[in-house]
Structure 1
Amino acid sequence: MQTVLIVDPFSTGKLYAPLLNAQGVRCIAIISTRNLPDHFSSDLIEDNFQEVYYWEEALLMTLEHLPLTAVIAGCETAIYLTDYLTEILGIPGNTRITSDLRRNKFSMQQALKDHQLANIASTLLSSPSRIAEVVATLEDTGTYVVKPLNSAATEGVVFAQGKAEVETALNNAAWQQKNDLGETNLGFIVQPFVAGPEYVVDMVAFAGTYIVASVCKYTKVHKNGSKFVYESLDTLDPQSAELQPLIDYARQAAAALSIQVGPIHMEIIWAEAGPVMIEAGGRLHGGIAPQLFQQVYQPDLLSLAIDGYLGRQKPQADAVTQTRHGRIAFFCSDQSRPFVAPSPEALAQVRADPAYGGHRYFIRPGDTTPITVDLATCPGLFWLQHPSEQQLDISAAHLRNYLWR
C-alpha cells in the first residue's frame, strides 16, 4: 500500500486525504507546529489519517521506516517542512535549498530577475531601521505596494500613494508580529504598483514539466475609497490562443522558482508590457476553487496534483479542457452593520437557481460587517457553474439579491 505524508492538511490541503483514501493510499498527517492558529488547526479531520503527528526531529526515526511515496504540502505553512522531509527522506519533490523561492516574496522576485523574466522591482526591509533610507529613494507621486514577506492572501498588504504614505505604512506595519498563519512577519517589501488585469494560473509540476490546470481572471471594482475591491473570479479556457503569452510566462516563472513536483498557485498581472508575476505558492489554490474546478475542468487541479505527487504518468500539455463556465462572486459590504442571514424562503430561491454551486460567509449572524476594501475584508462569497457563460451573469445578479442585502 502506498503511503503519503500530508504536512498541515488545512485549508484546501484537507481535500487530499479523502481522495487518496478512496484510491487505497494510506495518509499520515504531520502538523508543522503546535502554534498554528485555531482557524487552521480546527480544519483537521483526524478520521482521514492513519496517524497524526506533531513535528519534532525525533519523528524522523519513525518516518524513515515507512514505505513513503510522497510528502504533500497542505497549505502555505507546510512549504519549508515539506521540502525538508522530502529531501531528508529521499522522496522525489522540491529541494529545501530553494524553499524560499516558493514562500518569500522578495526571493521569488529575485529568482525571476535572475532568469531574465519580467519581475517587480522589490526593496527589502528586515527591520524598521531602514524605513527612512528606503523612503528617500522613492518618488513623491509614485504608487507603491507595501507587503509582508511571508503572509498569505492580502493580509498586511497596503497600497500607498507617494513616499509619505509608504513611510506611514511601514511605520504602522506589524513588525515581528504574528500573521494570520501564526508565523512571525520576517520583514516587508516595497514595490511599485503594476497596473493591469489580474489572473491566476494554477499548474501541476510533473518532474519539472508544468501542466496548466486552470486559468482565472479577477474582476475588481472601485468601491468604498478602494480600487481593489474584488467582485468575481471567472474560470477561463487554458487552450484559448489569446491566453498563451500568459501561460508561456507562467511556465517559465514556475521553472525559475525550481518547482519540480506538485501544484503551483501563481498570481499574475497582465501589464501593458506583458505578464508579470505578483507572487506564487507551492500549494493548491485556496478557498472553494478546487471544488469548483472539479465541475469546470477535465482533468481537474486536485486530481492532477495527486497524480503528480504519486509519480503517475503526466498528461499531455494541452490535456486540460474547460467543460463548463465557473465563477466565484464576492460579497461587498458598503457599511458597518449587523449581519442578518438570509431567510429560509430566500435560501430556497437561491438553491433553485440553475447555476448555483454554494455560498459561504466569513462572518456570523449578528457580527458587524467590515467595510469591504480588499479580499481580507470580504464578508463572504458564492460560486456558480453552468454550460452558458450568459447564465452566470444572470445568476450572479439574481443570487446577490437573496444572499447579500
Structure 2
Amino acid sequence: MPHQNVALVVDGYSTGLFYPAALKQKGLRPVHVASGAQKQSPGLMEYTSHLSERLRADYEILVHDWEDTGELTHRLVALEPVCVMAGCEIGVEMTDILAQALGLPGNGTAQSAARRDKLVMHQTLEARGLPYLSCLATENLDAAMTFAAGLGSWPVVVKPLRSAATEGVRLCNSPDELRAAFGALVGSSTLFGERNDRALIQECALGREFAVNTVSRDGRHVLSDMWEYHKIASPGGAPLYDRTMLVRTLGDEHRAIIDYAYKALDALGIRFGPAHVEVMLTAQGPVLIECAARPMGGAFPQDLLVESLGHTQIQWAVDGYVDPVAFAAHAAEPYRPTRSMCVKSLISTREGAIRSIPGIALAARLPSARRGNFLETLTTGHLPRTVDLVTNSAHIFLCHADAAVVAADWATLRELEVEAQNELFELCPADASLETDDDWFCRVPDELWLKPEAQAPEDADVIWRALALVPGERVLDCPCGDARVGIHLAARGARVTGVDFNPRFIARAGERYAAAGLAATLRVGDMRQLADRGAFDAIVNWFNSFGYFGIEDDFEVLRRFAVALRPGGRLLLEAPNRVGILGNLTCKYDADGKPAGAVAWDDVAERLVTRFSVPEPNGSSESVVRSGVRMYSLAQYKLLLRLAGLELVHVHGEGLTVFAETSRRMILVAVKPKDA
C-alpha cells in the first residue's frame, strides 16, 4: 500500500489516545509506535495490553516489536512519515530520537535529558538565568539531610527524577518526614519501570499552581489552554489532586506565568509540538515545577474541551506539525473560553471491595456534571486509598456557561468526599459476619415493625406541627404500616394516601379507616417505584422507614418523593441520630474481635446490623435473619436531600425538641423549591 501522509504516534496512551481522530481529520494516516518502555514495567505492560484492541481499530499499522532503534528506524523510513509525536510521557525520548533520525520536525536529542530529568531541567533554567528551584539528586541520606537543612526552611519536596502524575512525590515538613520519604523512594521503581537509584530533594515553591498547555512550531509558542490546580496535602505528605479548573480570563498574573512558561520552553529546547508546563506563582513570581514535551495528561473529554475552548491541544498540535497556515491562524486567535470547566478528582481515605458506586447516580444530578471516569474502580471492583494522582478513585468533569454553577457543584462533590464517602463508593463489610440479607425487610415479623398504639396520637401531633399541616392538604404516608399514625392525620382533616410494601398492613389499614368512618386512598407499593408526580402537599416517612436498601435505592426513594411533591411541598423524615445512638450502643465481640451479640455496628457499610430468629412458614424451625438499617449522618442526609431536589429547612430532636448531637432521634423537614 502507498505510505504517503503517514503520521507516527509514539506511545499513544493517556491523552495520546485522541491523536488518531485528529490526524484523520487532516487526511493523515496514523501509525502507532511502541517506545519499548512497556517491557520494563509489568504495570505498564498490563495497562497497554488493555488498549491493544482500541489501538488496532484506530491505527493503520502498529509497530510494536523491534530489536533496536536502528531496525526500528529502517522500518519507519519505508513508511515515509511526515511527522512523529509523543502520545504521553514515556514516549517523549523515543520521539526525539525518531524525529532526528528520520529528519522530521522535532526537538532534537541534545536536550532530551532536560525534558525528562527534573534535576537537569532546573539546572538548565538556572544556566539560562530563569527562576528555578534548588535541587539535589542523591542516593545518600546524610547528603539529603544536609541539603534540606541548608535550604533554611520547611517543607521540602522529595520526588523521583523521572516520573509523572505525582508518583512518589512527598511534601516533608520535618527531618523525620524527609527520612521516611527518602527511604521509601530510593530503591523503588516508577510506573515506567525505571529504578529510583537516587531521590531528588527540592526546595518547595509555595503559592498557586497552574498548568500552561502550549503548542509550538519552529520555536513559536501558542497558548492552547490554561488551568489552575487545587491540591490537598495528605497525611503522608503527598499532594492529592482535588480540582483542576480552566482559567477563563487572563489577568496580569496569568500573562506573567505564560511569558515565563514560554521562556522555559525555549530554555529546554522545545520548538515543536505540544507541551505541558506546570508553574507555581509564588510571592516572588512564577517558577517552574516541571515541564513535559507532550500533551496534558488525564484524557479530558475532547468534546467538552471543544465546547469550552473551540479546540483541543491535540488538534492544534497536529496543525503545528503539518499545517503552518492553520497554526498561524491559531496563534492570532485571542484566548477566550466560553464555558467554565473543572475536573474533580475524587479522593478516597478508605479502601476495600466495592459493592456499588452510588456516586455515579449522585453526580449525575449536578447541573454541570457532563462526564465521569470511574473505569478503574468499575473494572477492578476495588477502591484504593488515594495517595497520588494515579490512585484518585475517579474523575468527574464539570462544564457550564455559569462559573458559579461549576463552583457549587465542585463544592457538593467535595462535601460528599469529606462527609459521605460511602455515598460515592459503597464498600462491602470488612467482616463477612456483618453481611445483611438483601430481603431482610420482607422477612421481619409484622409485630416488630409496629410501635405501641398508645404513642400514635402523640406521633401524629408531632407530624402535624412539624409539617405545619392544614386540613384539606394531600398527605402521602409512606410506608404507612397499618395506619397507626395516618388515621390520626386523617381525623384532623388531611387527605391521606397510604402506601406500604406489606399487603397485610394495607388490609389492616383499610379496616381501621372503615371502622373510624374516615376516607383514605390505600395501595400496596414499593417506595422505590413510587410513580406519583406533583400529587402531594406533604409526605411522611416515619419511624425508621428509611435506609433499608443500598445507597442508590435509598437515594431513588428520596428522588421519587421529590417528584411526588408539588413545588413548595414538604417532606418529613424521622430517623435515628447516628451519633446519639452509637454513643449509647453496647456491642459484644468475641476474642477475635468479631461481633458476638445480637446487635453490631458496621463502620464500613454504616449499617446497624441486628440478628434475630424468624419462624419458618411451617413452624417447625427458625432461621436467622440479619437486618441492616443504614444510619445516615445529618450531613449525609443534607447532601442526599439536596441532590434529590429538596432543601433541608428544619432539624428537630425527638418530640420536636431542640436537636443536639446527643439526641437519639432526628426529625428532618425538607421542602421542594417552588421553582422546581
TM-score, normalised via structure 1 length: 0.90
CA deviation map 1:54-92 (0-9, x unaligned): 243213222223322101101111111110110011111
Mapped contact 1:220–1:227 kept (Cα < 8 A)? no
Mapped contact 1:10–1:41 kept (Cα < 8 A)? no
| Superposed counterparts of 1:101-250, under 5 Å | 101-125=114-138, 128=139, 130-139=140-149, 142-175=154-187, 177-185=188-196, 187-221=198-232, 224=235, 228-237=239-248, 239-250=250-261
1:72 is aligned to: 85
1:84 is aligned to: 97
Please say if 1:320 is aligned against 2:335.
Answer: yes
Identify the structure with bigger relative contact order (alpha carbons < 8 Å, sequence gap 6+). Answer: 1
Distance 1:78 1:351 in 2: 35
Mapped contact 2:350–2:385 kept (Cα < 8 A)? yes
Distance 1:268 1:283 in 2: 16
More off after superposition, 293-302 vs 89-98: 293-302
TM-score, normalised via structure 2 length: 0.55
2:61 is aligned to: 51
Distance 1:339 1:237 in 2: 37
Two-structure CA RMSD over aligned residues (Å): 2.5
More off after superposition, 78-87 vs 157-166: 157-166
2:399 is aligned to: 385
CA deviation map 1:19-68 (0-9, x unaligned): 21233211111111151431134234112112111243213222223322
CA deviation map 1:161-183 (0-9, x unaligned): 233432332223242x4321233
Mapped contact 2:171–2:239 kept (Cα < 8 A)? no
CA deviation map 1:103-132 (0-9, x unaligned): 11111111111111110001012xx3x332
More off after superposition, 110-119 vs 297-306: 297-306
Q: Which amino acid letter does the alignment assign opposite residue 62 of structure 2?
A: V
Unaligned runs of 5+ in 2: 417-422, 427-676
Unaligned runs of 5+ in 1: none
Aligned-partner SS, 2:343 = strand
1:28 to 17, 27, 31: 31
Distance 1:293 1:107 in 2: 33
Aligned-partner SS, 2:354 = coil
1:2 is aligned to: 5
Identity %: 28
- CA shift at 1:242, angstroms? 3.7
Q: 1:334 to 1:63 in 2, by over 3 A?
A: closer
Distance 1:307 1:103 in 2: 25
Flag the structure with larger Rg.
Answer: 2
More off after superposition, 223-232 vs 51-60: 223-232
Distance 1:304 1:240 in 2: 23
2:351 is aligned to: 336
Aligned-partner SS, 1:96 = coil
Q: 1:300 to 1:368 in 2, by over 3 A?
A: closer
Q: Which amino acid letter does the alignment assign opposite residue 118 of structure 1?
A: P
Q: 1:149 to 1:290 in 2, by over 3 A?
A: farther
Distance 1:137 1:227 in 2: 20
Count of aligned pairs = 399
Q: Which amino acid letter does the alignment assign opposite residue 396 of structure 2?
A: F
More off after superposition, 104-113 vs 290-299: 290-299
Mapped contact 1:339–1:365 kept (Cα < 8 A)? no
Please say if 1:269 is aligned against 2:272.
Answer: no
More off after superposition, 90-99 vs 158-167: 158-167
Distance 1:369 1:174 in 2: 27
1:295 is aligned to: 307
More off after superposition, 359-368 vs 203-212: 359-368
